[in-house]
Structure 1
Amino acid sequence: MADDKATEDMTVSEVRADLIETLNRVGYTATHVRVSRYGRTKGVIVDADWYARACAALGEGWRLDPANESAGKDA
């Protein structure tokens, strides 16, 4: 399944400085953010629905346990 959403490039420092805004943008617009450090890609931030579809397509199922979804929420 092809995904035609945009991918943004950000450095680790940029993501760190504006993490909440970055997570909101990813969550609301389904934009992917490629995170790099010293010119090398270190990770990609994607929305949870996209991640779930990717895991299912790889035959790994939903790797995040939905029953524990509230465990990571701020108090």
Structure 2
Amino acid sequence: MAEQRTTDMQVSEYRRDLIETLNRVEYTGTHVRVLRYGRAKAVTVDPEWYARACRALGENHRLGDPAEPSPPYGDAP
């Protein structure tokens, strides 16, 4: 498997270029670490990578049922 590349973006840049950034993550596999005041606040990865990571960690419950809608923000277990 190819090595995953991670790039850093400031929150303001991430917000401004959200669609372009999501496309880059999906099509190139690049992970994007979102920084605020120099500290990582989030990481965006492609859904397949996330699913593999959840399975490897035994966290299958995080993947949910694709047929079911996601719970509202803040209601997830």
Category of TM-score, reference length = shorter chain: 0.7 to 0.9
User: What runs of 5+ residues in structure 2 fail to find an aligned partner?
Assistant: 70-77
Counterpart amino acid of residue 48 in structure 2: D
1:72 is matched with none
Segments ≥4 residues shifted beyond 6 Å: none
Question: How many residues get paired?
Answer: 68
Change in Cα spacing, 1:62 to 1:49, as seen in structure 2 (3 Å) is farther
User: What runs of 5+ residues in structure 1 fail to find an aligned partner?
Assistant: 70-75
Query: 2: CA distance between counterparts of 1:48 and 1:11?
Result: 22
Task: Supply the RMSD in Å over aligned alpha carbons.
Answer: 1.7
Counterpart amino acid of residue 35 in structure 2: S
2:12 is matched with 13
Percent identity between the two aligned chains: 68
2:3 is matched with 4
1:67 is matched with 67
Give the C-alpha shift of residue 67 in structure 1.
1.4
- The answer to which structure has the higher helix fraction is 1
